[in-house]
Amino acid sequence: MTGLFLLTLRELSARKVVVGLFVVATIVWVAMAFALQLDVVDGSLAGARLFGQETTDGPSDLDAPVLDADGQPVLDENGQPITEADQLPFESRSLLESVVFGAQAFVAGAGYWIGIVLALFATGGLVAALSERGQVDVILTKPISRSAVLAGRLLAVMAVMLALTTYLFGAVWLVMSIKSGLWNPRFLLAIGAVFGMFAVVYGVVTLVGVWSGSGPLSFIVTLGVLFVSLILAIPTLQEQVSAVWRPVVWGGYHVLPKFGSVGTTLVPQLATGGAVGSLYPLLSSFAFGAVCYALAFVLFSRKDF
């Protein structure tokens, strides 16, 4: 397994696209370090500048009442006006927190939606490449089990992607924390959510790659699964389809990974320190990934090359 692990690390390093992902991650945190200037006075945000341009005009924005369509203040259940700060997706109420958490939520979201797809693109062909004639003959005839071969390859991919996620999120967290003096360790939990969902989605890549031996096909099918899962996650979809299709939509949503739900709800909640509503989308996605990996290992062990 160690041999395949090391070979895969070398292969990933030889693929410039993985190096490119690390470069992009570096650009992100360096940009945040130099472009975003926070003026913190006595623990409060006095001003924020992005590339030297003022981006806030004081805390009064957050204290402003939310107005309805008639221009009247919206009241809460106690008859008090609801402010903009009350509508933030996290419990913090200060402008400083809103800026810091907002920036962290932005990075987490970008890392999730764009980063995972880029990571799939960079690593999607590795599993299928194992089945390529000429390579598979040399590797599988060594005195190692097929499970160890596949596990070595997957562990290397996971190690690199975990390192990449930790590097990006960790660096952004450090930069924002040092600049603002506001330390939000829960942001680091987003690393687990983003990496976990990458691992889940990579289960589809692995299964299709083992089955078909085609890197492009495994990448395309995985994108297809993500697309379908996003469609199925539309809250009103079940009400809009006919009764015949309703169970299909319901079943599809619960079986497939909840890529949209995790990305729109859980990751921002974790990144901004907000209360986590439900772990069901994440846990059921993990179950889906586990089934994909189990099937892939069984298929790989039984396949004729």
**Which residue intervals of 64-185 are DSSP H helices?**
95-110, 116-123, 125-130, 135-140, 146-180
Q: CA-CA distance, 31 to 43, in Å (whole number)?
A: 23
Residue among 52, 60, 78, 133 that touches other proteins (CB under 8 A) = 133
Stretch that binds other proteins, among 61-69, 143-151, 180-188, 239-247 (CB under 8 A): 143-151
- Bridge partner residues of 53 (DSSP): 50
| Residue 136 binds other proteins, judged by CB under 8 A | yes
Contact 53, 37 (CB under 8 A): no
Between 118 and 144, CB nearer to other proteins: 144
Query: Which residue in the block uniquely carries the two structure tokens 């989605």?
Result: 201
Stretch that binds other proteins, among 58-66, 142-150, 235-243, 282-290 (CB under 8 A): 142-150
Smallest distance, other proteins to C-beta of residue 24, A: 22
Length of the chain: 305
Smallest distance, other proteins to C-beta of residue 134, A: 3
Residue among 96, 139, 168, 189 that touches other proteins (CB under 8 A) = 139
Between 12 and 199, CB nearer to other proteins: 12
Q: CA-CA distance, 200 to 271, in Å (whole number)?
A: 20
Ranges within 213-272 binding other proteins (CB under 8 A):
none
Residue among 145, 227, 251, 254 that touches other proteins (CB under 8 A) = 145
Q: CA-CA distance, 201 to 221, in Å (whole number)?
A: 11
Residue among 52, 79, 143, 185 that touches other proteins (CB under 8 A) = 143
Residue among 30, 75, 110, 142 that touches other proteins (CB under 8 A) = 142
Contact 258, 282 (CB under 8 A): yes
Between 171 and 210, CB nearer to other proteins: 210
Contact 163, 155 (CB under 8 A): no
| Pairing assessment for the beta strands 36-41 and 44-50 based on DSSP bridges | antiparallel
Residues that bind other proteins (CB under 8 A): 2-4, 6-7, 10-11, 14, 132-145, 302, 304-305
